[in-house]
């Protein structure tokens, strides 16, 4: 049981670190969101599972299980809201040649940086 908990803790930390590296390295907001919501949720969930296995008290297990459940329910909803908002607010997206959402959602045009800074 202790070994399993240790493995889960190491895996969870590794996933969170990979997610943070992805947030820094990937080129546009949607890809960064892909890294932070999937790998980040998995990392936090693995760490909380490790707490469940490491602790013998039942109260800790129920709180961790509740937190895991809550993370798994709310993070996809939050990511969907944020993705829609970042599309609508006109963040620069990589590889967006023909845009299937163009007829559905109004999108503000993002300017290049030099133009945006000039008054």
Partner 1 sequence: MIDLPVLAGFLAIPLALALLLAGWRMVSGPSFADRFVALDMLTGVAVGFAALTTIATGRGTFLDIALGISLINFVATAAFAVFLERKRRQK
Minimum distance of partner 1 from residue 96's CB (angstroms) = 14
With DSSP H G I counted as helix, E B as strand and the rest as coil, what are the percentages for the chain, rounded to 5?
70, 0, 30
Nearer to partner 1, 8 or 97 (CB): 8
Quick one: angle between helices 2-25 and 40-54, nearest 10? 160
Minimum distance of partner 1 from residue 90's CB (angstroms) = 7
Contact residues toward partner 1 (CB under 8 A) are 2-3, 5-6, 9-10, 12-14, 16-17, 19-21, 23-24, 29, 32-33, 36-37, 40-41, 43-44, 47-48, 50-51, 54-55, 57, 59-60, 63-64, 66-67, 70-71, 74-75, 77-79, 81-82, 84-86, 88-92, 106, 108, 110, 113
Cα distances (Å, whole numbers) of residue 102 to 27, 88, 105: 21, 10, 6
Minimum distance of partner 1 from residue 73's CB (angstroms) = 9
Minimum distance of partner 1 from residue 98's CB (angstroms) = 22
Say which DSSP state 22 is in: H
For residues 64 and 48, the answer to whether their CB atoms sit within 8 Å is yes
Please state, in angstroms and rounded to a whole number, the distance separating the CA atoms of residues 110 and 119: 15
């Amino acid at each position: 049981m202790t070994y399993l908990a240790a493995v889960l803790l190491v895996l969870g930390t590794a996933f969170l670190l990979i997610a943070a590296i992805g947030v820094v390295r990937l080129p546009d907001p949607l890809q960064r969101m892909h890294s932070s919501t999937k790998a980040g949720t998995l990392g936090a969930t693995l760490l909380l599972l490790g707490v469940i296995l490491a602790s013998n008290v039942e109260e800790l297990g129920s709180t961790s299980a509740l937190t895991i459940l809550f993370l798994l329910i709310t993070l996809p909803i939050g990511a969907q809201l944020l993705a829609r908002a970042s599309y609508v607010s006109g963040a620069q997206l990589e590889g967006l040649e023909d845009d299937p959402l163009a007829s559905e959602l109004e999108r503000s045009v993002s300017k290049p940086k030099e133009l945006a800074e000039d008054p």
